[in-house]
Amino acid sequence: MISNLSILYLNNNSTVYASSFTQISNSYEETSKLPFADPTKDIPNYSSEGIFSTRSASERDINYYKKLGYKNIEYGSWSGVTNVISTKATRIAKFAVTQILGLIPSNAVRGALLLYDVSETLKTQDADIWPTVNARFITATAPAGYRVIIGEESIVKYYSNSARTKLIKTIHKTYWV
């Protein structure tokens, strides 16, 4: 299924842009096999002294790629919500490893574990978080004629309980190559 959509978004200078793009239902796995955008390879006779080469990835947006000649910008299908390991599970795994290391009959290892345990005890204990993530790739046709990944859009949600029903925060972000 292909659909044409329009969105309004802000760039880093708080300027509002209107942009249209095509959403296509390629799977996340299919899209992930595409190469990442690289103007030095994608654009014939690319000059590294141009205005676009000085931009860092954080300063890029969809218009940057349009000006470089990338066409047919498409948003792929979402990967599906994936539960990420909680901070509680990470803490339990660290504890298990330190306990196993404590079985090694060496005074040097036990001394190091003692220092590690003291530092962990004095560290601030934050509340446990159970995050989920959902992502999709943004692809385009490079000026050289092949498909490349120009960015990734992600939605990360942080929950305060293991059932993931008490939402704390949602972060919706687009990362550009």
Same domain assignment for residues 136 and 77: yes
Same domain assignment for residues 32 and 59: yes
Domain that holds residue 92: 87-122
Per-position pLDDT tens, the chain of length 177: 333 333 433 444 444 444 444 445 567 777 788 888 887 777 766 655 554 455 566 678 888 889 889 999 999 999 999 988 887 777 777 777 777 777 777 777 777 777 777 777 666 666 788 899 999 999 999 998 889 999 999 999 999 888 889 999 999 999 988
Same domain assignment for residues 77 and 150: yes
Specify if 127 maps to a domain: no
Q: How many domains does the chain have?
A: 2
pLDDT value of position 15? 42
Same domain assignment for residues 101 and 149: no
- Is-above-0.85 flag for pTM? no
pLDDT value of position 13? 44
Q: Which residues contact 89 (CB under 8 A, 6 or more apart)?
A: none
Same domain assignment for residues 9 and 60: yes
Same domain assignment for residues 30 and 115: no
Same domain assignment for residues 12 and 62: yes
pLDDT value of position 125? 65
